[in-house]
Amino acid sequence: MTTQSLLKASESQQQPELCLAQHPVLRITLTGHGIFLTIIAIVISIQILQPSLTCTLIILSPLPWIIMNDYTNFISLGPGGTPSTFFGYLKICFLRLFALSDPYTPVCFTGKIYPEFGYYQRAPSWLPKRRGPRPTIAGIAPQRQLDQTGCPHMYSLVCQFLTKFANTHSSLLRTGISCFEKKGLALFCRIPINATCRGEIAHVHSSDRSLHLNLHPDDARVVLEQGWGERHPLAKGGWMTKYVPREFVMVYAPRDREECEVVLRIIEAACWWVSGERLEVSIGREEKEEREGCKSTVVPDVMQCG
C-alpha cells in the first residue's frame, strides 16, 4: 500500500465521525414497567428467599446495568488496539487494575538512556503553554479525547506532515498502518534505536484527531508540564511494555494552525527519540482562507457529535 493510499484511507475514516460521548456508569434509568417489575421481584424474594440472600441480591441488582453502561462507553470510543468485543472489554477491565493513577507526572528513568538528552534540551522554552484547560480523556485501549477535538483541516495537515516527513527522509522513515492501533496513519523509523512497536514513532486518530507518540523523557516532561498531552494509562514499564512503551504519550488534537505547528514540533522530537537523528521538515503556509478554515475552539461549550 502506497503512502498516498494510506493517507486517503486515513482521511476517509473521518466519515462518519464517531460520537465519543461517555455516560456515567452509575446512572441507571428504569421505565415504569422496570420499576414495577423490580418491586414485584423484591416482594417475591422477601417471601421465598432467606433475608440475607435477599439483601445480597438487592445490593447486586444494579451490577448488570453498571457493566452494560461501562461496556457501552468502551464500544463508543470506536476501534483501536483492543478488539471492540466483550472479551476485549474484559481485557481492558483487567488492565485498569494496573493503569497509571496520575498521567501528568513524567516518567522517571534511573538508568542510562540514549539519546542522553531530549530533542529540545538546549531550548527549554520551545513549547508554549497550551491555552485553556486540558480536554477530557477516556479509555485505555483505545484512549480517546472527548472534547476540544479541532477540525478536519488540522487533522489533514498532520497527516500531510507525516507523509512529507517520511518522503523527505525515505531512507530512515516510512508511513504505514499503526502497529499499536492496527488502523490509522502512522510514522515509522526503519532502523529504530529505542524499541517501539515495529519502530512506530507516532500515529494520528481520525476519530478525535489526537495523536500518540513515543518521546524522550525530557521532551515528554515538557509536553506534560505545558499541558499539551498526558501519558498513556499503560505506560508504566515492566511487564506492561508488551502493550506500550514507558515513553508513550498522548498529544491533544490541534485546534488551530498555531497549535498544529506546535504538534509538528513534538513529532520531530518523537523522531529524535526513536531514530536518534535530528530531522526537520515543514509544511508550506496555506492560503489565508485555508488557514482560517478552522477557527480556534479553546473551550467549547458542548461536544458536537453527528
Query: For 149-183, what is each residue's pLDDT tens digit?
Result: 888 889 999 999 999 999 999 999 999 999 999 88
Within-domain flag for 158: yes
- CA pair distance 254, 272, nearest whole angstrom: 21
Within-domain flag for 81: no
Within-domain flag for 34: no
Nearest to 149 by CA among 294, 1, 3: 294
Domain count, the chain: 1
Of the chain, the end-to-end C-alpha distance in Å amounts to 31
Within-domain flag for 304: no
Structure confidence at residue 187 as a pLDDT band (50, 70, 90): very high
Structure confidence at residue 26 as a pLDDT band (50, 70, 90): confident
Burial of 11 per CB tally in 10 Å (0-12, 13-18, 19+): middle
The percent of residues in the chain predicted with pLDDT above 90, rounded, is: 50
pLDDT exceeds 70 at position 14:
no
- The pLDDT tens digits for 49-58 are 888 888 888 7
| pLDDT at site 294 | 57
Within-domain flag for 254: yes
pLDDT exceeds 60 at position 70:
yes
Within-domain flag for 88: no
Lowest mean pLDDT among 14-18, 221-225, 258-262, 271-275: 14-18
Burial of 239 per CB tally in 10 Å (0-12, 13-18, 19+): exposed
Q: What is the pLDDT of the chain when averaged over all its residues?
A: 83
Within-domain flag for 303: no
Range of the domain at 219: 3-18+104-291
Asked whether 233 and 99 are in contact (CB, 8 A), the reply is yes
pTM of the model as a whole: 0.81
Structure confidence at residue 253 as a pLDDT band (50, 70, 90): very high
Asked whether 246 and 196 are in contact (CB, 8 A), the reply is no
pLDDT exceeds 60 at position 201:
yes
| pLDDT at site 283 | 58
The percent of residues in the chain predicted with pLDDT above 70, rounded, is: 83
Within-domain flag for 68: no
